[in-house]
A and B are shown apart, each in its own frame.
Chain A
Amino acid sequence: MKVKQIFLAAIILMVFAVTGVMTVAYVYNNTHEQILENERLALLSSINELIPSDQYDNDIFHDIITVEGHDLLGSDNPIPVYRARKNGWPLAVVIPVIAPDGYNGRIKLLVAIKLDGSLAGVRVVSHRETPGLGDGIETSRSDWILNFANKSLLNPDEKRWKVKRDNGDFDQFSGATVTPRAIVKSVFNALLYFRINDQKLFATTAEAEQIP
């Protein structure tokens, strides 16, 4: 008798689980493309904030080279790097970088690096930092992230690529040190990565295949 009760309960629970999953799957199917499109548009507008659209003339969204994940980029998965060109000449790359050690998990960034190794700028794509404290990294909340423009591994000196509390050159926010620290570190790593790989990143698809 007891076994029967248990099975009955399990079946009822399963019916609800299946119905719930079906509902979620249905909504997911109907929103998935819109969500991808939103993310694409958001990405494109972030890229254009970093590199104004009148400075390049290629289809930046499709001029991609996919590089293997790297510790310096904060991800093990393949990463698409967007390339901006003018008249076929390389201008800058936009690398999606993950800062793994935010206060509330991973912070996704876009780091735009010009051909000479200086930053065109940095933007936050998504984050889960505390509202009111860590979200000063958004351009709508503060200008903090704009300070990265034109910085490079020589400006400031490599040892000064830290927040002020760690004796570096970058401001932290009142009440939030972890968030800026994570971003400064990961932008610095992206610059290191660019210094090692700049040739490879600008290679066209045909050239890229020749690089082992």
Chain B
Amino acid sequence: MSDYATIIKDGLWTNNTGLVQLLGLCPLLAVTNTFINGLGLGLATLATLVLSGGIVSLIRHQLRDEIRIPIFVLIIASVVTAIELTMNAWFHDLYKILGIFIPLIVTNCCIIGRAEAFACKQPVGKAVVDGLSMGIGFTLVLVILGGMREIIGKGTLFSQANLMFGEKASALTITFSEDYPGFLLAVLPPGAFIGLGLLIACKNIIDRRALARNKAVSVAMPLAESS
């Protein structure tokens, strides 16, 4: 059980794709100009991670070492194509906005990275949980970064939610100020780099605080015993 807890913690925090491994930066930086774009690409990547991880783990005993990479690529490419077609059919407008970044999931390093480093050595359950937690971790980063850039760059949040959740969701859009002039830097790619840098810095601060607290506790403990 603790195994699964470690896998989940790894994906969401310790080994987060977006903040620690820094894999898949191309879509991470490019589509996170709004919350909904981030969520759309995050969920597509999540689905790819879970499916490809599960399949790779299922066939791990049939796999031959010398052709494992071509097979990973085949599996990932098929999964992504299926997801692309499905999105085109059921989320047509969102698909049009995410554009080239859906097919580009094929080349997202974190997916083949997980297949090679984890899924091909682990049972199906663990591989799926790993894909799920890595995917959620990645989606969270996409969504937070997208939300940040949307608020600063456009002064709105959840704009175009109707693309994912149907027409009723248009009401979700929060506009903070009607005459917000917009802040182009946040919308353009440099804003994505700065935003991601700030997120990584925040994570490091939190980690360091936690470490310091642990040290303080472990130093305090022996003292308490000796007295």
Contacts and interface: CB of A to CB of B under 8 A. Distances in A.
Interface of A: 8-9, 12-13, 16-17, 19-21, 23-24, 27-28, 31, 34-35, 38-39, 42, 104, 126-128, 130-133, 140, 174-175
A169 B88 CA distance: 37
A6 to B, nearest CB: 9
Contacts of B100: 104, 128
A38 B92 contact: yes
B88 A31 contact: yes
Interface string B61-81: 010101100110011011001
Contacts of A104: 100
B82 A23 contact: yes
B30 A131 contact: yes
Given A24-B81, A131-B33, A31 B67 contact: no
Contacts of A27: 81-82, 85-86
> Which of A24, A126, A132, A175 counts the most B-chain CB atoms under 10 A from its CB?
A132
Contact of B89 (A24, A35, A42): A35
A39 B85 CA distance: 13
A89 B66 CA distance: 69
Contacts of B92: 35, 38-39, 42
A177 B174 CA distance: 32
Contacts of B59: 16
Nearest to A175: B188
A131 B31 contact: yes
Given A35-B89, A38-B92, A126-B96, 8 more contacts: A12-B62, A19-B78, A20-B75, A27-B82, A31-B86, A38-B88, A130-B30, A175-B188
A140 B160 contact: yes
B184 A24 contact: no
B187 interface: yes
A16 B93 CA distance: 32
Contact of B99 (A17, A24, A128, A140): A128
Contacts of A42: 92-93
Contacts of B93: 42
